[in-house]
Amino acid sequence: MGFKCGLVGLPNVGKSTIFNALTALQVDASNYPFCTIEPNVGIVPLKDERLDKIGEIIGSAKVTPTTLEFIDIAGLVKGASKGEGLGNQFLNHIQGVDAIAHVVRCFKDENVAHTSSDFDAKNDLDVVLTELIMKDLEIVERRIAKLKQSIKSGDPKMKKQLEIVSEFERFLSQGKPLKEVELSIIAKEIIQEMNLLTIKPAIYIANVSEDKCDDETQAENLHQFGKKHGEPLVTISGKVQEEISQLDPESQKEFLDEWGLEELSLDKIIRAGYEVLNLITFFTANENEAHAWTIPAGTTVQKAAGKIHTDFEKGFIKAEVIKFNDLIAHGSETEVKHHGLMGVHGKDYIVEDGDLVFFRFNV
């Protein structure tokens, strides 16, 4: 299944507005028959001009973009980890995502209630981050109690784990997210298995007013914060994006041209999610379909085959790979081959962003 990005933030910051705008970007549902979509889950296509070019050159009847899943996660308020608001429900939702998109309110609007009395975006973000830390602390403390129990009943393997998890506890109780801890490989495995929240990669979305002017310092504060972890900030006006998302693609393009913009802020969000998850895109194409696929950077070509079909992975023989730039430079698959630029690779080849892959496999 696809990669998931959860929209998280205090009430009335614009999560649902942004979610609606993102999901209005519409995916041709017939391409994704296997997805039962709940109202708060949306499958959003990743725009990629390379896919259209490949489709053109190969002469594919249709193109299918790769996608990212967005989830509108409601219910996080101050004290949520202690059961305030919708309480702990948000936890399961956040545990289920690969990346967190923190939506932070930077717009002023007297008609929209603000949960805190001060207008301070960084402070609002801190409230949310603290809840995540508290939640992790609770999970970690429960684990420690369990481990102590197992050690008592004579399970020595658990000692090492107890040491590591106690280290997590020390960090969290100092108010630090686990992504700031230098982790050994074994600690990473334990963190994965415990599905903790403060290790998840994040992006920050500053939801600013239409005219932006009084919010720049607010957004800048978020930007500086994100930079510490190498996490991107996207500045957006949720309301404007929602309006634009309702337009047909032609009018959307006119809007962008009029404002001299290359892409919608919504597309920036999708791309930021993609980047923070360290994902790359490869392509497959034949006369029926050109298809973009998402994999984590560093994936072998045999694993990548499994993304398309388990048979491709199991029966993998070899992969023929054309670099996107070579395809553009030479204008056709045949010309690329003719110039000796089609690579033939075994199962351990690491797929690169932009590879056009032809799989050869046994069934």
Ligand X SMILES: Nc1nc2c(ncn2[C@@H]2O[C@H](COP(=O)(O)OP(=O)(O)O)[C@@H](O)[C@H]2O)c(=O)[nH]1
Q: Pick between residue 103 and residue 158 the one whose CB is nearest to ligand X.
A: 103
- Select from 93-101, 105-113, 176-184, 250-258 the region that touches ligand X (CB under 6 A): 105-113
| Closest CB to ligand X among residues 31, 40 | 40
In this structure, are strands 279-285 and 343-345 parallel, antiparallel, or unpaired?
A: unpaired
Binding segment (CB under 5 A) for Mg ion, from list 9-17, 40-48, 203-211, 285-293: 9-17
Q: How far is the CB of 100 from Mg ion (least distance, A)?
A: 16
d(CA 82, CA 62): 50
Tell me how far, at minimum, the Cβ of 72 lies from Mg ion, in Å.
Answer: 6
Could you tell me which stretch among 2-10, 13-21, 134-142, 176-184 binds Mg ion (CB under 5 A)?
13-21
Q: Residue 234 to residues 25, 197, 273: CA-CA distances in angstroms? A: 18, 21, 10
Alpha helix segments (H runs only) across 210-264: 216-228, 238-245, 249-258
Copy the structure tokens of residue 206.
Answer: 């500053």
Stretch that binds ligand X, among 12-20, 75-83, 245-253, 326-334 (CB under 6 A): 12-20
- Cα–Cα distance between 42 and 273 in angstroms, integer? 14
Say how many C-beta atoms besides its own lie within 10 A of residue 231's C-beta: 21
CB nearer ligand X, residue 266 or residue 321: 266
Is the CB of 90 or the CB of 316 nearer to ligand X? 90
Does position 218 interact with ligand X (CB under 6 A)? The reply is: no
Residue 204 in the binding site for ligand X (CB under 6 A) = no
Q: From the list ligand X, Mg ion, none, which binds 143 (C-beta under 5 to 8 Å, kind-based)?
A: none
CB of 267 to ligand X, least distance (A): 17
CB of 20 to ligand X, least distance (A): 8
Q: Residue 16 or residue 166: which is nearer to Mg ion going by CB?
A: 16
Contact 73, 7 (CB under 8 A): yes
Closest CA to 276 of 99, 104, 125: 99
Residue 42 or residue 238: which is nearer to ligand X going by CB? 238
Nearest approach, Cβ of 94 to ligand X (angstroms)? 15
Indicate whether 268 belongs to the interface with ligand X (CB under 6 A).
no
Q: Which does 109 bind (CB under 5 to 8 A by kind): Mg ion, ligand X, none?
A: ligand X
**15 to 34: interface string for Mg ion, x by CB under 5 A:** xx------------------
SS3 sequence, 8-46? Answer: ECCCCCCHHHHHHHHHCCCCCHHHCCCCCCCCCEEEEEC
Told to check if 115 binds Mg ion by CB under 5 A, we report no
Please state, in angstroms and as integers, the Cα–Cα distance from residue 363 to each residue in 242, 301, 302, 309, 316, following that order. 47, 17, 14, 11, 9
Look-up: residue for tokens 């607010």? 218
Q: Which amino acid is at 99?
A: A
- The binder of 273, among Mg ion, ligand X, none, by C-beta within 5 to 8 A per type, is none
Sheet holding 289-296, edge to edge: 62-64, 289-296, 279-285, 355-361, 316-323, 343-345
Q: Which stretch binds ligand X (CB under 6 A): 6-14, 30-38, 45-53, 80-88?
A: 6-14
Q: Radius of gyration of the chain from Cα atoms?
A: 23
11 near ligand X, judged by CB under 6 A: yes
Tell me how far, at minimum, the Cβ of 7 lies from Mg ion, in Å: 9
* Residue closest to 301 by CA, chosen among 287, 280, 331: 280
- How many residues in the shown chain lie near Mg ion by CB under 5 A? 2
* Binding-site ranges for Mg ion (CB under 5 A): 15-16
Interacting residue ranges for ligand X, rule: CB under 6 A: 9, 11-17, 107, 109, 112, 207, 209, 237-239
